[in-house]
Structure 1
Amino acid sequence: MSTRRVLFESLAPVIDFIYPPRCPACGAGLGEQGGLCAACWDDLVIPSEPCCKTCQRPFGQTGPAHGAMCAPCLADPPLHDGIAAGTLYTETSRKLVLALKHGGRIALAPMLAKLIAARIAGKNTDRVIVPVPLHRGRLWTRGYNQAGLLARELAKNGHGHLLVDGLVRRRATPSLGGLGAGARRKALAGAIEPNRKRQNRIAGSDVILVDDVLTSGATSTACVKALKKAGARTVIVGCASRVLDEAIGSARGQGG
């Protein structure tokens, strides 16, 4: 057992006394730090098979067999090479993501990253892990990039090498909430580019692009375009949660 682990376990009773363990989603009391209560775990929806071979959209037991493509991917084939979403977007996952993103709850990053990791096929230390970048103004204001924290945890757990500045956001973009698909693409046009100083690390590599939430896909598409422009061989989008309301019922039916 490492010295760090021994120290943590020896201090755990003191930490629990000063800061009683609470569920980060609802505030209910817990037996130990770092988890969720049973009710909040039950509200999480974990995508599972059968699913679209391209984007991993859950089909449900009555849908197509695993290996088929969903209608959206057939109509408009994505640039990415797969999506590894830890959860689908529910009230509980919304609270967890917002707590990490805006609430300063950076201790949630390891748990959320483990949910992403569970959806990635095998460990591969040869991959490159790149977070969706923040503009420097927003980074200074927030103090951290939540996507960078998730990416760091994936790297620590053997899923690749962290390249925290593989992409750069050249200009600030407005909040995309409430904007239509066309307006989102316009807002992001030319905003995200590969970092020329890191292009040799990206060229020919299999990349995991990491973000907290995948909503319309506008931001991830801009990032995937930039990574493939830099020569990435494949790009998988890893996210803590994915907004896919129409699939939640199907995924719950799969036992996720």
Structure 2
Amino acid sequence: MFKPVARFAAESLRYSAELILPPVCVSCAAPVTRHNLLCAKCWGGLVPITAPYCGRLGIPLPGYDGSGPHLSVQGFADPPIFDRARAACVYGGVIRKLVVRFKFEDRHEPLPLFLRLMRDAGRDLLADADIIVPVPLHRFRLLQRRFNQSALLAQGLSRASGVPASVMALKRTKRTKAQVGLQHDARRANVAEAFAISADRRRAVAGKRVLLVDDVITTGATANACAAALLAAGARAVDVLAVALVWRGAPAFLDEGEDVL
């Protein structure tokens, strides 16, 4: 009896809210049918990452026509410390604009969209995960931004999936310089030993399969450094899930613009 009443009340509130504040596209502000959606044009500007893709790195493999998981040349030649990485979209275009707004402009309208995309892309990772842990910010960077975008993503995924999240398990112990403009080896050196698990949080990850969450995977250097710290603390395995992934084979129309990663 109470569930239909609660649903009716929720729908009535939603309808009233949409009369006061009509839903618009979270990218271009064109009218849409529901809040937290993209219009058809902006949706067409996304490049979702679907099979076939590298089973380790999650990068698209457009030339592979096999039906099972496949390892890319990059994943074979330089395997990561983490087990599997997945991302919802190729970085660039519409998804880049939304990530920049979210990360640097304190605009949280894209968050529900990001969470839906990540749940779809990381369905298998979420099913296997024992705990969700975000990539942390250094405390000085956190003071500047006032929030950790990866922590918001981790908390949202936890609520949607039921997998517990520990936003304080992983700490950034070294104030690294920005990764902008750094090549792969320089990025790896920059974040080497920059993360750790505090003694009181080790029990949270020991023996667990950890799902590490970030907004964008660029070279995988940060994810590798985080995975090393988690494994050293006793984690059984580490997977990585992000909104977007930088891919050299991205379509030309995905003009990434200025690198802000």
Normalised TM-score (structure 2)? 0.86
- Looking at structure 1, the residues matched to 251 and 233 of structure 2 have their Cα atoms a distance apart, in angstroms, of 35
Paired residue for 2:101? 99
Residues 154 and 201 from structure 1, CA distance in 2 versus in 1: closer, same or farther, beyond 3 angstroms?
A: same
Residues 32 and 114 from structure 1, CA distance in 2 versus in 1: closer, same or farther, beyond 3 angstroms?
A: closer
Residues 126 and 188 from structure 1, CA distance in 2 versus in 1: closer, same or farther, beyond 3 angstroms?
A: closer
- Looking at structure 1, the residues matched to 51 and 88 of structure 2 have their Cα atoms a distance apart, in angstroms, of 13
2:176 pairs with 1:173 = yes
Residues 204 and 169 from structure 1, CA distance in 2 versus in 1: closer, same or farther, beyond 3 angstroms?
A: same
Paired residue for 1:243? 246
Residues 57 and 122 from structure 1, CA distance in 2 versus in 1: closer, same or farther, beyond 3 angstroms?
A: closer
2:152 aligned partner, one-letter code: L
- Looking at structure 2, the residues matched to 122 and 212 of structure 1 have their Cα atoms a distance apart, in angstroms, of 16
2:106 aligned partner, one-letter code: G
Of 105, 109, 112, which aligns to 1:110? 112
Alpha-carbon shift at residue 33 of structure 1 (Å): 1.1
Paired residue for 2:207? 204
- Looking at structure 2, the residues matched to 130 and 90 of structure 1 have their Cα atoms a distance apart, in angstroms, of 25
Q: Contact (CA 8 Å) 1:110, 1:150: kept in 2 or not?
A: no
Paired residue for 1:135? 138
Paired residue for 2:233? 230
Residues 36 and 129 from structure 1, CA distance in 2 versus in 1: closer, same or farther, beyond 3 angstroms?
A: same
- Looking at structure 2, the residues matched to 5 and 167 of structure 1 have their Cα atoms a distance apart, in angstroms, of 38
Q: CA RMSD in A?
A: 2.2
Identity %: 35
Paired residue for 1:148? 151
**Aligned-partner SS, 2:35:** coil
Deviations 1:28-62 (A, max 9, x none): 222221100001111111111122222232212x4
**Aligned-partner SS, 2:223:** helix
Which stretch of the first structure deviates more once superposed, 104-113 or 223-232? Answer: 104-113
**Aligned-partner SS, 2:242:** strand
- Looking at structure 2, the residues matched to 195 and 108 of structure 1 have their Cα atoms a distance apart, in angstroms, of 32
Question: How many residues of Structure 1 are paired with residues of Structure 2 in the alignment?
Answer: 248
Q: Contact (CA 8 Å) 2:216, 2:243: kept in 1 or not?
A: yes
- Looking at structure 2, the residues matched to 233 and 160 of structure 1 have their Cα atoms a distance apart, in angstroms, of 16
2:76 aligned partner, one-letter code: L
Residues 124 and 53 from structure 1, CA distance in 2 versus in 1: closer, same or farther, beyond 3 angstroms?
A: closer
Which stretch of the first structure deviates more once superposed, 3-12 or 143-152? Answer: 3-12
Paired residue for 2:48? 46
5+ unaligned residues in a row in structure 2: which ranges? 253-261
Paired residue for 1:21? 23
- Looking at structure 1, the residues matched to 8 and 229 of structure 2 have their Cα atoms a distance apart, in angstroms, of 44
Paired residue for 1:220? 223
2:136 aligned partner, one-letter code: P
1:177 aligned partner, one-letter code: V
**Aligned-partner SS, 1:110:** helix
5+ unaligned residues in a row in structure 1: which ranges? 250-256
